[in-house]
Structure 1
């Protein structure tokens, strides 16, 4: 039997789909991020309870998991549409009772060392400097292109350096513990001369590195792993690509930070350490406050505040980061897998994908996080793009405090935001829409089940055509994929157009249907079901068209107040249907 060439091309692609039942959904939001969440009663109730819980921990009524008398901290929850970029929609501050130096009025403008959250700003500068991020670093730093180098830097790009994929060492000098040399020897290590240590950057032995000594050290250091093999956390990588940026632009790191971050976003408390003691949160213990990080600044040497981080996070969430929306989405994509199926690494994001945060409506949620640390300072930034929120925790004092704090905030806030987003989606989208006038009548009904929006009914001239849509799919796609069941879900595609409806400005949103595959025919061959956890459904969109219109595409119309005022089903030539 002969088949058309187009049929064979399609078959060669779709045979890879397999026929196992696949329970997966598109990456991104299940329903649109909630608007004005700070006004929602469920959110207000949740943050009120969280405040009381934190108060109880600080007063000793419950175990905080850290010595509260020695820990100061600030927490902020950020929304993509908050009215004031520098004022989180919820914040909590606590000044340790043992703090005697620095500010005594802890608030959103108080300064902390933020450690490696600095890397987020540094990678942003890498993008904004308009350099070729895929060029080898030796193109800009020829001192690294020496034959004697233990690392082949010509195989390392600026992008690899910014995403922990260069295989670069973690530190230079800082990983030495010269002050513990006698302890090492007591544990059986042989005595060594001081000349065995790096010539700079070793605490207790020598001074900070200048650029020449640092780059020379990068030719004598060992690489941690091969470039692009797997993520290997590196602070020196950020120093290296910053040296390249400084040479390309003729500007210092501080000048680039001012040009692209501080001035555009109106940041008042973000700059290289040392900070302002009168505004600082300074722990009672010996700490890194007041340290000049020098060449190490791009990897972890900035001071910042809740307010400044709120401004930057809000801009990222609202796609107003002085990057295109496409560039911002690209920045949030993973560059490599992490240590397990729930973790990945980006630029410089530490990406975490838990499945248990919303037990009432279980699904994976992607958190783009970045942690930071300095002596007696820990920090955590979490960007939850699909919900349009960010969470910031800054601590000063006992360094174990950040983990119970960030866990408490994430596990409390995310379910509340999910609940509000579903309530808004139910009100706005889970409705009936009907055409008015014209040669035919079209009526479409959506519902919100435990997982997502669902297409309940599609009627044209009084006849139900939903079963016809799924029937057409199964007839056309039967040779290539498992059949689909009666449940047709739909998800937003993050595609927006400014339009006019009945003389009023509206935003048209594209959504796509998401069919659920049924199980394949039973087989007695071994290994059946082994691929059940593989998500192939993302390959199934846009395969069936009718007269140039995809049969899985619908459009919602939203007015300036965020209310849905219309629906269009282009493949049925429906025109704009009105909500009932």
Structure 2
């Protein structure tokens, strides 16, 4: 075989082939993460477009929007020190304005206006765990830390799996990742008998229940369950699924997580959140419970109807909190920059726990994950967006993190009859404009910084390459790569694929590997993807198992003296300028021509 390949290489060494098919990058950013928000033409256009779209939204009183009774705040953020807030927008409904004599709380929304978060609180809960104890225990069974569940794991589930959760099979990660299979709530937010009296329930078609029935919750919304009552009820409830079968949303899991962390650390969960997140990040407008009304937006001026004062008791870790867009923006930046936990913990956290039945959706800890397609005419590229939404009373919330750009956005809304999915509808408006612009801004920045001719001065023009970017393809393109006078572009693709002829394409992508020096200079590694663009495209509708995007299996497919041919390292000086690029296998350092 190699005899045939060698002869093909000799014939192809001087050939120049036109690029044709799509490129398939690895998962993750395809350029250096952007920070050129003020100078990027793409970002300027996108933010102008977003301003126009939200201006129109604020005049829309249709049932899908109800701007007349819904107030909201939006903040787009990044980890860039120069541009931590990329965009902000606030709308105050007339019913909450200063001209309304019944208004309670703030009369004009801004970055510090406090809203209720609902289930967005779960992000604080999981981050408190990670900051306090890391994720080393995440595969431990929950029975190790919660004695009520340990006592329940006595074989009942084995005798009757339909009726009992096998708690000794449920791990910390299963609870954080919505994979425990346990019920959503006990007595709260889903219990009909807590929402109405038994006579009303029977009139809706439910069967009569005896008030002494042990399955009838005696606590929940009011009076709220204490820990003993909660477990007495929870352990009587049927499971929804076997553990690790499918994501099934549970608030009970986050209440249990808080009990477990209290057992491990010997401190109250609220105190741990305060010392791990609220104080280090200086979140002055974030409250675990009982936020002051004068800081809040309270639709209709009715605290009770808005559920401003309603507390979830021991289920607080699942959805009780209050915050502002400026504080949630700071939280998002802290997560993306690993300000509270080691970077490797963040990378593990921002990964799926499980996929869902929707092709572009998954579930994390406790993220909802959307796979956003970034359209390239000649490339396959998805961006994983990690989000957490919440709803409680008159309030809805949404935090979206885009790790590929170290950016994200937060939406907090409040309305007397807030439209369903109001938070996600606004997110569609923001995301449709933001994500393509972030990708374009990153490409603009990469082109200005990396594109150009690189030459190994020790070897003369015999060893060189050119880097470019193209709007229709992801990543940095390598063109004219010559090593000792040989067309390395073709040779690299043929050596990796094991066949010839080929239509070679080589593109570079960030690896996350970087060495920072005390003087501010850096060594930054990029991985090349060697592709034959002659390979046929695959139609997912007719290709059940075959793929045209499996490049992840081919990394470091060719080595020379142990060093990978597909690994390149940039030398970047203290000013941020690119000095050179080195190919590890070829031991060749090529300096950038100024």
TM-score, normalised on structure 1?
0.87
Determine if the alignment matches structure 1 residue 209 to structure 2 residue 212.
Answer: no
Deviates more, 1:235-244 or 1:210-219: 210-219
Deviation at 1:98, TM superposition (A): 0.4
Cα 1:528–1:309, aligned 2, differ >3 Å: closer, same or farther?
A: closer
Map 1:458-477 → 2, pairs under 5 A:
458-474=481-497, 477=498
Asked if the contact 1:273/1:301 (under 8 Å) is kept, the reply is yes
Residues 246-267 of structure 1: CA deviation (Å, up to 9, x unaligned): 1221111110111110111111
Determine which of 306, 310, 335 is the counterpart of 1:316. 335
Aligned mates of 2:400, 2:94 — CA distance in 1: 28
| CA distance 1:473–1:403, shift in 2 (3 Å) | closer
Alignment of structure 1 residues 541-580 onto 2, 5 Å: 541-580=555-594
Moved more, 429-438 or 482-491: 482-491
Number of aligned residues:
543
2:514–2:522 CA contact under 8 A, matched in 1: yes
Are 2:182 and 1:168 aligned?
yes
Paired residues of 1:231 and 1:336 also in contact (CA < 8 A): yes
Matching residue within 527, 530, 533 for 1:515: 530
Paired residues of 1:485 and 1:515 also in contact (CA < 8 A)? no
Do the aligned residues in 2 keep the contact of 1:444 with 1:457 (CA within 8 Å)?
yes
Structure 1: runs of 5+ lacking an equivalent: 1-20
After TM superposition, list the pairs within 5 Å mapping 1:67-86 onto structure 2.
Answer: 67-83=66-82
| 2:23 and 2:378 in contact (8 A); partners too | no
Instruction: Report if the CA contact (8 A) 1:113-1:304 is conserved.
Output: yes
Question: Deviation at 1:356?
Answer: 5.7
What does residue 140 of structure 1 align with?
145
CA RMSD of aligned residues (A): 2.7
Query: What is residue 14 of structure 2 aligned with on the other side?
Result: none
Asked whether 1:297 is paired with 2:316, we answer yes
Match of 1:419 in 2: 440
Q: 2:407 aligns with which of 385, 389, 392?
A: 389
**Contact residue 168 and residue 223 of structure 1 kept, 8 A:** yes
Q: Bigger CA drift: 157-166 or 556-565?
A: 556-565
Residues 82 and 89 in structure 1, CA contact (< 8 A), matched pair in contact too? no
Structure 1 position 307, deviation (Å): 1.2
Corresponding residue to 1:340 among 358, 361, 385 = 358
Structure 1 counterpart of 2:258, from 227, 232, 242: 242
Cα deviation digits, residues 30-85 of structure 1 (max 9, x gap): 1121123244343233223322321222134x968321111110000011214475
More off after superposition, 461-470 vs 487-496: 461-470
Structure 1 counterpart of 2:429: 408
What SS is found at the alignment partner of 2:443?
helix
Match for residue 98 of structure 1? 95
Structure 2: state its 5+ residue gaps: 1-20, 97-102, 158-163
Which of 280, 285, 299 is the matching residue for 1:283?
299
Deviation at 1:406, TM superposition (A): 1.1
Q: How many angstroms apart in 1 are the aligned matches of 2:460 and 2:220? A: 81
Q: Find the aligned partners of 1:440 and 1:373 in 2 and give their Cα distance.
A: 63
Name the TM-score, length of structure 2 as normaliser.
0.85
Query: Aligned pair in 2 of structure 1 residues 468, 321: CA closer, same or farther (>3 Å)?
Result: same
Determine the structure 2 residue equivalent to 1:65.
Answer: 64
Q: Aligned pair in 2 of structure 1 residues 246, 484: CA closer, same or farther (>3 Å)?
A: farther
3-state DSSP of counterpart to 2:372: coil
Question: Which residue of 137, 149, 157 corresponds with 2:171?
Answer: 157
CA distance in 1, matches of 2:106, 2:241: 44
Q: Deviations over 1:344-388 (max 9, x none)?
A: 111111011032677897622210111111011111111011122
Question: Partner residue of 1:487?
Answer: 505
Deviates more, 1:320-329 or 1:334-343: 320-329
Q: Is the 8 A contact 1:57 1:64 kept in 2?
A: no
Alpha-carbon distance, 1:129 to partner: 2.5
